Structure formats: structure tokens, C-alpha cells
């Protein structure tokens, strides 16, 4: 493959990823609206579902929110019955945030159709392609958790340069 064809293919992959991300954000916003939640609430719930019980500091790093913003979000989620704060058995100065399994079940039910569509798509793919997809997403997942901090640092640099 020529370097120009490879560059064009890279652009296409990146454009497709951007479209997928934009669609996912819009879809998550619609689901959040339907559940009476905010997009960051959904992100927090997803992080807790993926990582399990987490400290507010871990949630701040994963969502890009300040610790104060996480506190406000957790107040909202706890009031709605989505999470519960409990003492951290490993560090009594800290707390762990846990998902309410009943609420998580309801949220997963909302996503069930999307997951069925994804399963249908994946079912038709040969195993080597699936392994390539897993490899790509695994590598991409190594950097997004730091992205909010990088964006903030870059924004601050632009702001400082403009003043």
C-alpha cells in the first residue's frame, strides 16, 4: 500500500471514530435525558460499572471533573438512588462509591438494544478482524483517561498566549 493510500485510510479510520464518538455522545445524552440524569452522571455510572467501587478522586480523574464537581455529581446520584457512599475499608480517611445494582439493571436495560445491534455486527466478523478491533480499542483505551487533563492544560496555554 502506498503511503498516500495509507494516509487516506488513516484519515478514514479517524473520521469514522469521530463519527462514532459523536453518535455515542448524542445517544448517551438522550438516554441521560430520559433517565433525568446529566451526561457526566452517565459517565460516572459507566466508570463505576467498568471499574467497580471507586474513590471520588478516581472518578474525578476518569470524568475530567474537579473533586468539587464530583462531590456535587455524587450528591445528585446518591439522592436519585444510583450510588451509595461507603467507608473505604483500606483507608478510613476515604470513601468508596458503589453503584446500586437495581438502578444499574435499569440502565443496562436501556442499552440492551444497542448491545444487541453491536453483537449482531460482531457476530458477522471473522475472528482475526475481531482480534484486530480488540487490539485497536485496547491501545486507544490507554490514553483517554488523561485526555481531559491534557485538554485543560492546552486550553490554559491558549488562554495565556492570548492575554
pLDDT at 70 over 70: yes
User: pLDDT at position 98, please?
Assistant: 98
pLDDT class of 157 with cuts at 50, 70, 90:
low
Q: Which pTM was predicted?
A: 0.77
Domains defined for the chain, CATH in brackets: 3-124 (1.10.10.10)
Integer Cα distance of 70 and 38 in angstroms = 12
* Mean pLDDT for the stretch of residues 97-104: 97
- CB under 8 Å to 133, separation ≥6 — which residues? 125
Number of Cβ within 10 Å of residue 138's Cβ equals 9
Q: How confident is the model over 60-73, as a mean pLDDT? A: 93
Note the pLDDT tens digit of each residue in 125-153: 999 999 999 999 888 888 755 555 544 44
Amino acid at each position: 500500500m502506498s503511503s498516500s493510500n495509507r494516509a487516506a485510510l488513516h484519515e478514514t479510520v479517524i473520521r469514522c471514530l469521530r463519527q462514532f464518538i459523536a453518535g455515542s455522545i448524542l445517544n448517551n445524552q438522550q438516554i441521560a435525558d430520559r433517565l433525568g440524569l446529566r451526561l457526566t452522571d452517565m459517565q460516572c455510572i459507566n466508570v463505576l460499572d467498568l471499574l467497580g467501587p471507586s474513590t471520588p478522586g478516581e472518578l474525578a480523574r476518569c470524568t475530567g471533573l474537579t473533586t468539587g464537581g464530583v462531590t456535587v455529581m455524587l450528591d445528585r446520584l446518591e439522592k436519585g438512588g444510583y450510588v451509595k457512599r461507603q467507608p473505604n475499608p483500606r483507608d478510613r480517611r476515604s470513601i468508596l462509591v458503589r453503584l446500586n445494582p437495581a438502578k444499574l439493571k435499569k440502565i443496562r436495560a436501556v442499552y440492551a438494544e444497542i448491545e444487541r445491534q453491536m453483537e449482531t455486527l460482531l457476530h458477522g466478523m471473522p475472528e482475526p478482524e475481531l482480534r484486530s478491533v480488540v487490539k485497536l480499542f485496547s491501545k486507544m483505551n490507554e490514553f483517554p483517561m488523561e485526555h481531559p487533563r491534557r485538554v485543560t492544560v492546552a486550553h490554559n496555554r491558549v488562554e495565556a498566549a492570548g492575554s
